[in-house]
């Protein structure tokens, strides 16, 4: 006996109703397991990105000092991890990673050396600005400056111009391969991705050490590159891109990407306007240009106003240069320590 049409419709309807329930449901991914290093660096990067030191916070010397401070703190944590038992238990499978870290440190050391040279040039710049201001320091009621004073000030201001040219030449000579270093950091972070999976068999402390090494190189790259661009008079180089791994390896990579984007936008505004990125450097450069125009006009009152500006801008740049130079030295010394420890690891592996 043939089933009725109504029975067929009911059976078909029941099948359609039940089939989604009978289909296997997708397995929800496990949440990533964050290391202590990852959680700490995520928090620090958030603070570094959001605290408004000024309207253009990323172009202030104060912000750059904070970025270098964080870099030094990340390095210290990594050095401590290198000294732990996990840091001493490297295997032959880790050789390529360790070699990559050691090579990255060399490139960052070279960049820090370039920054140390730049700080020396900026000290000369402020010295020449002081000299020009001293020669031109006179009674503001005097309407004209003498030819002798103008000649001495012109020589000092010419030294400022010569320093700007030397810094420009340094920018051309020291063409750091930031992109290559960024790709190496991203490659190392990709290797670390399984460490955040609940099925990972990698020892947790070893995974954290590797993650700290990648985070240290990435943070150092950003801070050193940003400082280098900021203390250039007319940089032709933009902030190097943050190379991201194929998979999201850890939370700090996303936070670092967000910070990089915010800093890059502020830097590009200055670069498009033809100004120095660092607030204190641009203020001093403006004073040099003002003094040069005032001397050329021979107007005593105009000179007096420019000298007063220089008296404020010169010490601010000198203090900022001194502070940033000290922090770059700290980063440089800690990089040397990291490289020595990494080379020791490679030596140990060659003896196994």
Does 248 fall in a domain? Answer: yes
Task: Indicate the number of domains in the chain.
Answer: 1
pLDDT for 99: 87
Mean pLDDT of the chain: 80
pLDDT for 33: 62
Does 39 fall in a domain? Answer: no
> Are 182 and 241 in contact, with CB atoms under 8 Å apart?
yes
pLDDT for 21: 44
Between CA 8 and CA 19, with CA 14 as vertex, the angle to 5 degrees is: 125
Does 67 fall in a domain? Answer: yes
pLDDT for 151: 92
Between CA 265 and CA 262, with CA 122 as vertex, the angle to 5 degrees is: 10
pLDDT for 273: 83
Does 66 fall in a domain? Answer: yes
Does 8 fall in a domain? Answer: no
> Are 85 and 344 in contact, with CB atoms under 8 Å apart?
no
Low-confidence ranges of the chain (pLDDT < 50): 1, 5-31, 192-201, 246-247, 249
Does 291 fall in a domain? Answer: yes
Residue 77: give the domain boundaries: 62-351
Does 275 fall in a domain? Answer: yes
Does 53 fall in a domain? Answer: no
pLDDT for 339: 94
pLDDT for 7: 42
pLDDT for 346: 86
Q: What is the pLDDT of residues 320-351, one digit of tens each?
A: 999 999 999 999 999 999 999 999 888 887 77
């Amino acid at each position: 006996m043939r089933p009725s049409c109504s029975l067929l419709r009911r059976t078909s309807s029941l099948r359609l109703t039940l089939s989604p329930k009978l289909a296997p449901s997708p397995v929800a991914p496990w949440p990533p397991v964050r290391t202590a290093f990852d959680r700490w660096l995520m928090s620090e990067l958030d603070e570094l990105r959001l605290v408004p030191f000024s309207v253009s916070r990323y172009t202030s010397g104060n912000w750059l000092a904070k970025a270098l401070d964080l870099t030094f703190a990340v390095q210290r944590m990594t050095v401590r991890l290198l000294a732990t038992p996990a840091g001493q238990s490297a295997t032959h499978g880790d050789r390529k990673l360790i070699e990559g870290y050691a090579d990255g440190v060399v490139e960052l050391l070279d960049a820090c050396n370039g920054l140390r040279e730049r700080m020396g040039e900026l000290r000369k710049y402020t010295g020449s600005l002081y000299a020009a201001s001293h020669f031109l320091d006179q009674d503001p009621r005097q309407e004209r400056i003498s030819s002798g004073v103008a000649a001495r000030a012109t020589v000092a201001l010419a030294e400022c111009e010569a320093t700007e040219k030397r810094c420009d030449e340094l920018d051309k000579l020291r063409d750091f391969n930031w992109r290559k270093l960024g790709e190496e950091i991203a490659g190392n972070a990709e290797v670390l991705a399984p460490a955040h999976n609940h099925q990972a068999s990698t020892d947790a402390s070893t995974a954290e050490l590797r993650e700290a090494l990648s985070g240290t190189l990435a943070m150092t790259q950003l801070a050193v590159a940003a400082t280098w661009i900021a203390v250039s008079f007319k940089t032709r180089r933009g902030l190097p891109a943050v190379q991201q791994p194929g998979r999201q390896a850890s939370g700090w990579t996303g936070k670092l990407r967000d910070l990089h984007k915010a800093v890059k936008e502020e830097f590009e505004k200055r670069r498009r306007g033809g100004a120095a990125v660092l607030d204190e450097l641009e203020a001093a450069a403006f004073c040099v240009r003002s003094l040069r125009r005032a001397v050329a006009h021979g107007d005593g009152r105009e000179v007096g106003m420019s000298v007063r500006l220089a008296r404020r801008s010169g010490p601010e740049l000198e203090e900022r240069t001194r502070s940033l130079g000290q922090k770059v030295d700290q980063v440089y010394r800690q990089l040397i320590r990291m490289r020595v420890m990494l080379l020791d690891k490679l030596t140990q592996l060659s003896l196994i």
